[in-house]
Structure 1
Amino acid sequence: MPENPRRPSRAPWRRVLLVTGLAALAALLFLLVPAPEPAPPHTAAGTPFAWHQDERWKALEASFLRARADGCESVAPRIEATLRDGRRLLAAAASRQLEPKSAVFDELERATFELGPMVGACPGRIPNYIDLVTTMRSVVKTQSRRWDMGQLATRDRLYRMLYAGRAAVEEAMLQAPRGTVPALVRGDDEPSVTPFAEILGVRVHSGDVLVSRGGAPTSALIARGNDYPGNFSHVALVHVDGRTGAASVVEAHIERGVAVATLSEYLADVKLWVMVLRLRADLPRMAADPTLPHQAATAAVREARGHHIPYDFSMDFSDHGRLFCSEVASAAFERIGITLWMSLSRISSPGLASWLSGFGVTHFETQEPSDLEYDPQLAVVAEWRDPTTLLADHVDNAVVDAMLEGAERGDTLDYAWTLLAPARLAKLYSSALNSFGFVGPVPQGLSAAGALRTRRFVRTHAQVRDRVLRLVREFERNRGYVPPYWELVKLARRAHSQIGGGGG
């Protein structure tokens, strides 16, 4: 009988499958290894600013209701008297040197706040109110040129006058009929000899700094995550080519690092707000060479186009190998001998610092976009806001404020451990794309765990925000007016508690 043919052994294939399976299992287990929690951050020294004036806010809301009930014809004499009082105080402040603790500023703050509810009830007077507050900002910034920017009294006064003045105007704007609020507010017409272009109806010069507010939840976190919660989340540097007149901006993006964009590309990203800041022409270095801002912007464009500069999640403004958005401007001006952010931003809240450290932040005395407005070396040329998104902006802020209160109570930005493996794979994929100059789903410099924490923050913010918007509509139906900011914060706290806190 012929011999049976020998069957080929399947043992090698079994071994290959076994080894492959074990390798896949090992890789999966590796991908599922929990990410280490960030070490407790070393926060900046200090204490977050707090108003502690709940009774005052209640009184202002009551004043608004009385003015609305009385009618504008009856309220008009009081509005005019308060405007005259404010102008008198501004003239007094402009006529002599004052210290930050001067009672004149206390009286100006009082007049500004008292005027707000009446103008809110009679929105036809909003232009007069804007003029008063804009002049106040100019006077206070002029006075601050002689102040010690490292002193708490200086920081508090600038915040109370500039930020709070703007906030008071916005409360009146929110009560105005749609289409009646001006988008553009002009400030100081600071002279400049550098090439110029136009953006949003404003002439901007090469070397001007644009501070803006984006529409993402993380933009609200950047604006509010500060010892002095503010309005702005992003900084960009204007460059205008002296030969062609082509205008561009240099900015650092979380997703792709430092890049140069046209003005139209810059505006294509959601902008709720844009403020134009310009170096004062009377600074000693500027008097000696007024083209310095253009030189700084030109060098920044050349460097951004010359090589890839990653985004700096650590917010270390002293190391220019990586740049975050504020550092794009500060590093450029540093080259010409001018130090921006004369008073550094501080993050001293442990809960906030813990959340930020989870995204990769390691420096909590740094340069925040909102604080650049207070630098006395810079003049505010103009500010543009989108009136149609003003309420949404306030809601975003209130939601973040409520979430950060939760962070101080111990809320964390946790995530499901099962998401870690796909997030790490996405990070590996992103790293491969980054090496070829492309953008991946996880930004360069952000860890997989950091990306998951960001995702948790964004999702929680959206949940709370949706509830707040429903509560706002209910408030408006019941009371007949848009809730002021202090009421929005109460609604945000309520909505936040309804979803069970944690991560928000």
Structure 2
Amino acid sequence: MLQTTPGGRLAEDLARIEEIAARPAATARELAANLNELYAATYELCLDRYELDTLLHSAPEIAQAIFAMRLRLRSQIADWHARGFLTRPGERALRNALRIARYVTDMMGEINIRYAQLGPNEKTLRGFSGRSFNTFVNPKFETGEDIDFRTGDLLLMRGMAHNSAAIARIGDVDSQFSHLAMIYTDANGKHWVVEALIETGSVINPLSETLHHGLGRCIVFRHRDPELAARAAAMIYQTIAKSHQKRNGHIWYDFSMELEGNKELFCSKLVREAFRLGSENKVALPTFMTRFDMRNRDFVDRIGVTARETFAPADIEMEPDFDVVAEWQDYRVTSRLRLQDLLMDQLFHWMETHDYRFEEDFPIRLIGWMGQMSGQLSTRAKQLIADVVPTVPPNMTRSAIKAVAMLHRTAEPLLDELQALERRRIDRTGRPLHPREVYDFLETKRESSNGAIGYLATAR
């Protein structure tokens, strides 16, 4: 049991969460009930109930304990799956429990650094640099040194842009990640990242460049069969390298999110293709798919998604044959990422529940036309989309360009308001906003908006 001083109530609440997480289940229904209870108990951890000195003193210990709890939950996936316990309700409940526990870890990290944030000209930290509170290592892979990346390792990442938050939230289960990539280590020991990016398609970049490239959070996953992982990495590296040598052979980003075919690849489809090649078609990721079964498909249709189910980046967290090696986050930006997530939750909730849809105006139509025709966005378009799609790929439709611009223009002012609200909350109480407060604020905004928020509007 985690001990804290002097706030016994915090210790009791955390012990209750640990007890629920350790509770055995005899049926699929019982497992889903336990995990739903775990989610609810973690969600109800309101930091206002605890002494600030206790939180400041105990933050690193709490964060480490919650990471350990998440590892224990993940370690049971293979057994639960083999016993048929991870039905759709159980799967969803486990994803939700892992997600809400990660938010608690983030808040502890933010408290520990006294809510420091990036300065105007500062960049996020290099991922997994040094051994600090930013990095949690699975004891199974602990060496006391920096992370030992291996060929075939996977990187599950989250960037800073609104489209990253949207990618993490558009399926039937919310997540905190938007990109998946594979590491390949060449004969000289240099690490490369093989990945599919919206702007440039399938590419190979140095690992050091990826870890310096504005990450907010990242997890390293490792397959339990190192020979399979090594073959998969080598074969996808060779496939993408050869595609760059052929005229008209470049593999562009697959906006459809369909799993069949390999002429175009999205990020996690590239990883799927790697393990398909490395296993001679014996391994087909993912075990648990993300579904696009929403009633209102306005946004996903606009960006070109035709799939009804797919391999979303965060689905790798549910894979029975992969271990978490380490997890890293920059606590100066996790608050922004969390607010982005909660904001996207509400935007997509409004689309589904209140039938909100995007409505274009002339500037947005102009952005779509200029972006598709020129391949480079205009200055005004860059202001609307910020750094989301600075270079428009040739296969990105006008509809997708406009959808990304409208999402950014709708979300950015709301995020600014949420960040200001949280800063006032921290100045007043020393604690961040609870997700409930974020949802309440956004719902109040919607109710007073007369049916239109940014580019989202109800039918009139």
Give the alignment partner of residue 447 of structure 1, picking from 366, 390, 397: 397
User: CA separation of 1:322/1:393 partners in 2, compared to 1, >3 Å: closer, same or farther?
Assistant: same
- Matching residue within 159, 163, 173 for 1:228: 173
Q: 1:115-157 CA deviation, whole Å, 9 max, x = no partner?
A: 7744975232233323332332233223221323761233133
Aligned to 2:134: 183
Structure with greater Cα Rg: 1
Contact 2:194 2:204 in 1 (8 A): yes
Question: Aligned with 1:457: secondary structure?
Answer: helix
TM-score (norm 1): 0.72
How far is the alpha carbon of 1:347 from its aligned partner? 2.2
Cα distance change on mapping 1:440 and 1:386 into 2, 3 Å: closer
Shift of residue 339, structure 1, vs aligned partner: 2.1
2:63 paired residue among 130, 139, 143 = 130
- Paired with 1:302 and 1:365, the residues of 2 have a C-alpha distance of 28
Q: How far apart are residue 473 of structure 1 and its match?
A: 3.0
Q: CA deviation at 1:304?
A: 0.9
CA distance in 1, matches of 2:328, 2:68: 16
Aligned AA (1:223): A
RMSD: 3.1
Give 1:331's aligned residue: 273
Q: Secondary structure at the match of 1:338?
A: coil
Per the alignment, residue 490 of structure 1 pairs with 440
- Cα displacement (A) at 1:321: 1.1
From 127, 151, 170, the equivalent of 2:106 is 170
Separation in 1 of the partners of 2:420 and 2:14?
Answer: 36
Judge conservation of contact 1:399–1:465 (CA < 8 Å) in 2. yes
SS at 2:431 equivalent: coil
> Take 1:92 and 1:149, find their aligned partners in 2: how far apart are those partners?
14
Confirm or deny that 1:321 pairs with 2:254: no
Q: Report the CA distance shift for 1:373/1:414 in structure 2 as closer, same or farther (over 3 A).
A: same
Q: What displacement does 1:176 show?
A: 3.8
Query: 2:88, 2:261 → 1: CA distance?
Result: 27
Number of aligned pairs? Answer: 405
Separation of aligned partners in 1, 2:235 and 2:350: 43
Deviation at 1:158, TM superposition (A): 1.5
Q: CA 1:115–1:398 in structure 2 vs 1: closer, same or farther (change >3 Å)?
A: closer
Query: 8 Å contact 1:217–1:461 — kept in the other structure?
Result: yes
The alpha carbon displacement at 1:326 in A equals: 0.8
Q: Distance in 2 between matches of 1:298 and 1:391?
A: 37
The Cα offsets for residues 467-493 of structure 1, whole Å up to 9 and x where unpaired, read as 222333333445453211221222233
Secondary structure, aligned partner of 2:359: coil
CA distance in 2, matches of 1:472, 1:138: 30
Q: Residues 349, 212 of structure 1: CA spacing in aligned structure 2 closer, same or farther, 3 A cutoff?
A: same
Distance 1:478 1:366 in 2: 44
Taking structure 1 as reference, are residues 206 and 73 closer, same or farther at Cα in structure 2, changes over 3 Å only? closer
Contact 1:326 1:367 (C-alpha < 8 Å) held by counterparts: yes
Is 2:148 the counterpart of 1:206? no
What is the match of residue 318 of structure 2?
Answer: 374
Is the 8 Å Cα contact of residues 112 and 133 (structure 1) preserved in structure 2? no
- Structure 2 CA distance for aligned equivalents of residues 416 and 114 of structure 1: 41
Amino acid at match of 2:401: A
Q: 1:311 aligns with which of 253, 263, 269?
A: 253
In 2, are the aligned partners of 1:346 and 1:365 still within 8 Å (CA)?
Answer: yes
Partner of 1:344: 289
CA deviation string 1:443-483 (max 9, x = no partner): 23211232122111111111211222233333344545321
**How far apart are the structure 1 equivalents of 2:214 and 2:254?**
22
- 1: CA distance between counterparts of 2:100 and 2:13? 17
Which is worse superposed, 117-126 or 370-379? 117-126
Which of 218, 222, 231 matches 1:278?
Answer: 222
Q: 1:372 to 1:389 in 2, by over 3 A?
A: same
Tell me: CA distance 1:229–1:92, structure 2 relative to 1, closer, same or farther (3 Å): closer
Amino acid in structure 1 at the alignment position of 2:202: V
- Partner secondary structure for residue 459 of structure 1: helix
Determine the C-alpha separation between the residues in 2 that align with 1:420 and 1:112.
Answer: 44
For residue 133 of structure 1, what is the amino acid of its counterpart?
I
Q: Is the 1:406–1:501 Cα contact (8 Å) retained in structure 2?
A: no
- Give the one of 75, 91, 96 matched to 1:155: 91
Change (3 A) 1:429 1:465: same
Aligned to 2:418: 468
Partner residue of 1:384? 328
Question: Are the equivalent residues in 2 in contact too, given 1:411–1:502 (CA < 8 A)?
Answer: no
Calculate the TM-score normalised by the size of structure 2. 0.78
Unaligned runs of 5+ in 2: 117-131, 244-249, 377-388
Secondary structure of residue in 2 paired with 1:313 = coil
Give the 3-state SS of the residue equivalent to 2:59 in structure 1: helix
Retained in 2: the 8 A contact 1:402–1:492?
yes
Q: CA deviation at 1:420?
A: 3.5
Match among 446, 450, 453 for residue 501 of structure 1: 453
Are the counterparts in 1 of residues 28 and 85 from structure 2 also a CA contact under 8 Å? no
Q: Deviations over 1:8-29 (max 9, x none)?
A: xxxxxxxxxxxxxxxxxxxxxx
What residue identity is the alignment partner of 1:313?
F
| Residue 248 of structure 1, CA deviation | 0.6
1:216 aligns with 2:216: no
Quote the sequence identity (%).
24
For residues 448 and 112 of structure 1, what CA distance do their matches in structure 2 show? 42
Deviations 1:248-305 (A, max 9, x none): 101111111000000122124321001011112xxxxx3xxx4121111111111111
Q: Does the C-alpha gap of structure 1 residues 464 and 104 become closer, same or farther in structure 2, counting only changes over 3 Å?
A: closer
Letter paired with 2:342: A
- Alpha carbons of structure 1 residues 73 and 224: separation in structure 2 relative to 1, 3 Å: same
Map residues 2-17 of structure 1 onto 2, 5 A cutoff.
none
Contact 1:86 1:132 in 2 (8 A): no
Are residues 1:262 and 2:217 paired? no
CA distance in 1, matches of 2:358, 2:68: 42
Structure 2: distance between partners of 1:422 and 1:218 = 17
1:225 maps to amino acid? I
- 1:392 Cα deviation after fit: 0.9
Question: Residue 379 of structure 2 corresponds to which residue in structure 1?
Answer: none
